[in-house]
Amino acid sequence: MIERLAVVPLIVKDLDEAFEFYTEKLGFEKVTDVRGPIHFLTVAPKNGRDTEILLQVPDPKMLGDERAADMMSQIGKNSYIFLVNNCEATVEELRKKGVQILLEPQTQPYGTQAIIADLYGNSLVLREPPK
């Protein structure tokens, strides 16, 4: 049986600038950085390495031009959920770092939720469980 979710892929335009955004703006840290025929780079929150984000640029040499172009066209169309301890404080911290806030924190029956965007327009959902 599948026991846990380990890696969530996120297609980006440039690994270096994506790495800088996720580490410097969101406070993630590098978990894996393997360079070879492909560059395998993962990041995760400092206190939550159970699930990592794989930052990837589709390689036409491995995937073919058409498949790589199709994957690149998906940039900015992904949503991922992050559980945080204090949604409102996290949004304020990210706002000060220049992160785009798409939806201010709102209280819902399932908790408090806000949405931010990464540098490519991918929506990242911040969710705090109800108290």
Q: Could you read off the pLDDT of 52-86 as tens digits, one per residue? A: 999 999 888 888 999 999 999 999 887 677 878 88
Give ranges for CATH 3.10.180.10 in the chain.
1-74, 76-131
Q: Give the model's pLDDT for residue 101.
A: 97
pLDDT grade, residue 16 (50/70/90)?
very high
Q: Give the model's pLDDT for residue 44.
A: 94
**Residue corresponding to tokens 């994957």:** 71
Q: Give the model's pLDDT for residue 41.
A: 94
Residues 6 or more apart from 107 whose CB is under 8 A from it?
none
pLDDT at 102 over 80: yes
CA distance 84 to 69: 34
CATH of domain 76-131: 3.10.180.10
Q: Give the model's pLDDT for residue 79.
A: 67
Q: Which residues of 57-91 are buried (b: 16+ CB within 10 A; e: fewer)?
A: bbeeeeeeeeebeebeeebeebeeebebeebeebb
Burial of 98 (0-12, 13-18, 19+ CB in 10 A): exposed
CA distance 42 to 61: 21
Name the residue type at position 57: V
Query: What integer best gives the mean pLDDT of the chain?
Result: 90
CATH of domain 1-74: 3.10.180.10
